[in-house]
Chains A and B, each alone.
Chain A
Amino acid sequence: MSRTATALGQPAVLVSMLIGVIFVAAWEWLPGMLGVARFIIPPASAVAEEIVFMFARENLLYHTAVTSLSVAIGFVLGAALGAAIGYALAVSPTAEFALSPYILALQIAPKVAFAPLFVMWFGFNLMPKILVATLIVFFPVMVNVLGAVRQIDRDQINLGRAFNATRLELFWKIEVPASMPALFAGLRIAATLAVIGVIVGELVGGSVGLGYLLAFGQGQANTPMVFGVIIMLTLIGLVAYLAVVVAEARVLHYMPKRDFGAR
């Protein structure tokens, strides 16, 4: 196991880095060679330049901070709400039965379509985009938690019952820890969805955040700017995802080791 990891590890890292280099090189020179206009696909260097420029002129740091903050708040709210409702429904089959059609409807409804509505309700501030993110994060977390608790082996619960565990003890000592892997799988998905929610919220209105810069860049036909913002958004998503991965590695430290990013 560890031998194959080290034997495979080195070439795999090298190949991975090589692919990165090839990609950036192709981005830089290929469009020019194929005669694609610079305003369609600007070369990598132009985008890098634009990003530096945006830090100076467009207050990129501020917009990035606003978007990151909204992503963080939306993610935490949505995850907390999703987990809470997921557990509540899991321990109460009656509630799940009664609410399931509505939950399904809400789950199917495209969450980003709520963005204009939230802007109309709350105006051009952080609230609408945080709400969109919360809504979009909510479902994968809730569904995963609910499913995981449902799938717990009856005999495992019976073991607790046979030891005279109370309902609360069964919940905290069996159901919650048993659902952790599924919860984190949901959080991984949620981390990337949170970014989508916030961007849509920012695209719809307002004058702050990377979504706003995206629309601004589009309005000016500034392709390098749009590319630059996409890169910043990807970075935010990556940080959010890695934060979940790190938290997961700490909470699920008892799990058999698996390769990074294998799931």
Chain B
Amino acid sequence: MAAVRLEFRNVTRRFAPTRRSEGVTAIEGVSIAVRDREVVSLIGPSGCGKSTLLNLSAGLDGPSVGEVFVDGAKVTGPNSHVAFMLQKDLLLPWRTIRENVEFGLEIRKVPATQRREIALGQLKICHLDGFENHYPHQLSGGMRQRAALARTMATDPSVVLMDEPFSALDAQTKLVLQKDMAQTLSRLGKTCLFITHDLAEAVALSDRVLVMSKRPGRIIEEIAIDLPDRDDPIARRSSEKVTPYLRRLTELLDVAHADV
């Protein structure tokens, strides 16, 4: 059995009440384990605590109860083992695409020549060679998200966290980016926790799908996707074997919505 890269042990996250909002329990009793090279999707109704789970993984937030481990070490704050990518590209408009990709490396004090080499390599993988000296506003939404992917991979994280990274893109761009991401993940052998609300995307891209309930979010189901072509979502999508998975996930999400 492969090493566990990301692990939640009975994690609960409560947000204390403030003057403006009553306290909420975002997630409750969540235990998950993502193994080396696995891509695990997380789906659930909006507001069920998916992004909270990502923040806990990235060390941007701490659990109220329980523990989070990355590469066997307890997460106590931001650490160099993880990198995240959101729906927003978060590119810094005053930096060129290459400088944006170098951002994490720069903070980690990687020497300039080495940074440049890594960034250019990642941009090539993400099909952005030739755009390294462009500024973000000169690129389309899809290209910007590619640049964000390159920035995420540049620091060579052992766990990649994605929070609905393609949900703002048009259908066609989305398909292309899903394919590129799937290939990049499998080529580099990355472990990934992938949050999405697109069931087809979850089935197309992952080895396993975790389904969360309404808030307080708990993991209510875990479905292994026993299909080939994890690095080729377009091939997967066109196989009729995805249908039963989609049907099952749809049922589960309805259940998740239903119990008021």
Contacts and interface: CB of A to CB of B under 8 A. Distances in A.
B155 interface: yes
**Is the contact region of chain A dominated by helix, strand, or loop, or is it mixed?**
helix
B84 interface: yes
A164 B79 contact: yes
Interface string A161-180: 11111000100011001101
A159 B107 contact: no
Interface stretch (A16-24, A129-137, A150-158): A150-158
B180 to A, nearest CB: 21
Given A158-B60, A254-B135, A165 B107 contact: yes
A163 B155 contact: yes
Interface in B37-79: 55, 58-60, 78-79
Contact of B90 (A156, A165, A252, A255): A156
A256 interface: yes
Q: How large is the interface on B (under 10, 10 to 19, 20 to 34, 35 or more residues)?
A: 20 to 34
Nearest to A166: B107
B104 interface: yes
Interface size class of A (residues with CB under 8 A): 20 to 34
A164 to B, nearest CB: 5
A156 B90 CA distance: 6
B80 A155 contact: no
Contact of B94 (A156, A158, A161, A254): A254
Main secondary structure of the interface of B (DSSP, over half): loop
A155 B83 contact: no
A169 B107 contact: yes
Nearest to B80: A164
Nearest to B90: A159
A206 interface: no
A163 B94 contact: no
Given A254-B135, A256-B137, A162 B92 contact: no
A160 interface: yes
B108 interface: yes
A180 B92 CA distance: 13
Interface string A7-44: 00000000000000000000000000000000000000
Contacts of A165: 107
B84 A162 contact: yes
A162 B80 CA distance: 8
B255 to A, nearest CB: 31
B59 A177 contact: no
Q: Give the most central of B58, B79, B88, B94: most A CB within 10 Å.
A: B94
Contacts of A156: 90, 92
15 contacts: A159-B90, A161-B60, A162-B78, A163-B78, A163-B103, A164-B80, A164-B107, A164-B108, A165-B107, A173-B106, A173-B107, A252-B94, A255-B93, A255-B137, A256-B137
